[in-house]
Each structure stands twice: as structure tokens, then as C-alpha cells.
Amino acid sequence: MILDDKIVELNSDGYLKNIDDWSEDIAIKIAKYENISMSIEHWHVIRLIRSFYLKYNISPTMRMLIKYIADHQDKKLQLNSSAYLFRLFPKGILKQATRIAGIPKPNQCL
């Protein structure tokens, strides 16, 4: 992937090879590839996923993610429902959101 004349390497599954290459511009480009137009809710989830990864050094499971969002979300946003998250990331919350967040593919993602 090329962004502003910088080459950013992806693995064969489309995840960043180096988490430090992530930026909001990269996230927007990956989201566009995933047919996702980033909203406030999308950004909130992406930032929480990155926060989780940077804190625990693992990609979250679905249960971990729902709990973490419930504990850290902006109370005006109702993001702690898996059904709502699936509307935001229709091809799979963990698959699409972790890819956009620039963190490694979760172990339970096929």
C-alpha cells in the first residue's frame, strides 16, 4: 500500500506488517478498501481496539472487545452491543476493525 509516497507493507491477509506504520490516513485507506465510510462511531471503536492492543499486547476476542468498549465508551454512543458493532463492521467486527486499527489478526479470525 502506498500513502503519500510512503510504502506501507501488508501481510497476505491485508493486516499491517508493522503496527507503527498505522495512522488515521492509513485507517481511512484500509476502511475504503473494506467499503466502510468512517463515522464517529467507527473511529471510537478503532481507537478503543488500538488502546486495548497497546495495553494488553494482544488482539481482543469478541467478548473482551465488548467488555472493553462497555467500560471505556463515550456514554452518548451505544456501542456495547455486538449487533450494533456488526452494523458498523458487516464483514466481521474482529476482522475488519482490527485490520483498520492496524493491529495483528486475532487468533480466532479465519
Question: How is the chain split into domains, by residue range?
Answer: 2-101
- Give the per-residue pLDDT at 6: 75
Sequence-distant (6+) residues with CB within 8 A of 13 are 99, 105
> For cell 481507537, what's the residue?
47
109 catalytic per annotation: yes
pTM reported for the whole predicted model: 0.87
Q: Give the torsion sign (CA, 41, 32, 90, 56).
A: negative
Catalytic residue among 10, 64, 66, 109: 109
Determine the distance from the C-alpha atom of residue 53 to the mean position of all C-alpha atoms in its chain, rounded to a whole number: 10
pLDDT in tens, 35-57: 999 999 999 999 999 999 999 99
Q: What CATH class is the domain 2-101?
A: mainly alpha
- Give the per-residue pLDDT at 80: 61
- Give the per-residue pLDDT at 67: 87
pLDDT in tens, 65-101: 888 888 877 666 666 678 888 999 999 989 999 999 9
- Give the per-residue pLDDT at 75: 65
